[in-house]
Structure formats: structure tokens, C-alpha cells
Amino acid sequence: MTTNASRLSTLLFVCAATLGFANDAPAHDGGEEKVQPLMKQAISDAPGKNVMMATVILAPGQSAAPHLHPGSIFAYVLEGSVVSQLEGDPPHTYTQGESWYEAPRVHHLVTRNASTTRPARLLVWAIVGDKEPIKLPLPPASSSDAGLPSISSP
């Protein structure tokens, strides 16, 4: 049975998620990838944690800005192929039917649609805290990083 309170919380989550981390701007305008929240559910055996599911669409040739996730991320390629690179690892191209895991707070340096002609679509399953966003921009490089070579996307 669904209560009015749970319906309201679901509606508020979808609205906040859509406004907070989704942008429908097309890739050629430098917009963010399109994120469509599907659900958010509290985990009864992990107080303070929620599971979130969303689809992420990258337009042909589109890249996401480098970022990190406060919680664990599991990604599955529904359509197309995606180049992903986590800090300390080489870039890897994932194709339809493949998946990967991202540990919390690991810098995600590259997320790019491998195709310049077809969109790529991911199913993302995340574990996040009650008040945590699903994605955060990488913090600016500190002055102690000056002089170190930067990691560039391929």
C-alpha cells in the first residue's frame, strides 16, 4: 500500500533530482548528460542509506565533466558504448551488456560516448546517503598538485 506521504516524497525526489543533476541541453551546446531518475528507496538494513536507479543518456560524441560519487555506483550499458576512466586506471570502453563498479569518492576522470553518430544509454544503480547527491564535480586541484602532470582524456 502506498501512502500519500510516500507518493509526495517520491514526487519531491524526482523533481529535486531532475533539477539537481539533470539537464536536457543538447551535447553540441556543451550541456550535461541527460539523467532520468527511476526510483529512490530507503534501505531498511542500512539506516541512512538509499538505493537510487536512473538512466543516463550521452548524445553522440558527448562527454560528462570529471566528477566523483559520494556513494557506490554500478553502471550497466543498455545501448551503445561508453569510454570510462577512473583515477589510477586506464580508459576502458564498455559496450552494450557490460557493466562496471565505482567505489565511493573515486575520481571519475572520463565518461564519454564512444560513438560520434549514436547515443549511449546507461542504467545506473547507486547507494547514497539520505542527503547526498548522486554526483559531485571534482574539487579544484590544490596548490600542492602544482607541477604534477595532469591526466587528460584520450
Contact 136, 73 (CB under 8 A): no
Q: Which helix (H) or strand (E) holds 43?
A: none
Q: Which residues of the chain have pLDDT under 50?
A: 1-29, 143-154
Contact 127, 58 (CB under 8 A): no
- Judge whether 17 lies within some domain: yes
SS3 21: helix
| Per-residue confidence (pLDDT) for residue 6, from 0 to 100 | 42
Contact 102, 124 (CB under 8 A): no
| Per-residue confidence (pLDDT) for residue 31, from 0 to 100 | 66
d(CA 5, CA 2): 8
Instruction: Residue 89: give the domain boundaries.
Output: 4-138
| Per-residue confidence (pLDDT) for residue 12, from 0 to 100 | 35
- Judge whether 76 lies within some domain: yes
| Per-residue confidence (pLDDT) for residue 149, from 0 to 100 | 44
Q: C-alpha distances in angstroms, 8 versus 19, 95, 129?
A: 16, 37, 19
| Per-residue confidence (pLDDT) for residue 74, from 0 to 100 | 98
- Judge whether 78 lies within some domain: yes
Written as nine digits, the cell of 111 is: 565518461
The CATH number of the domain holding residue 43 is: 2.60.120.10
Q: Which amino acid type is present at position 81? A: S
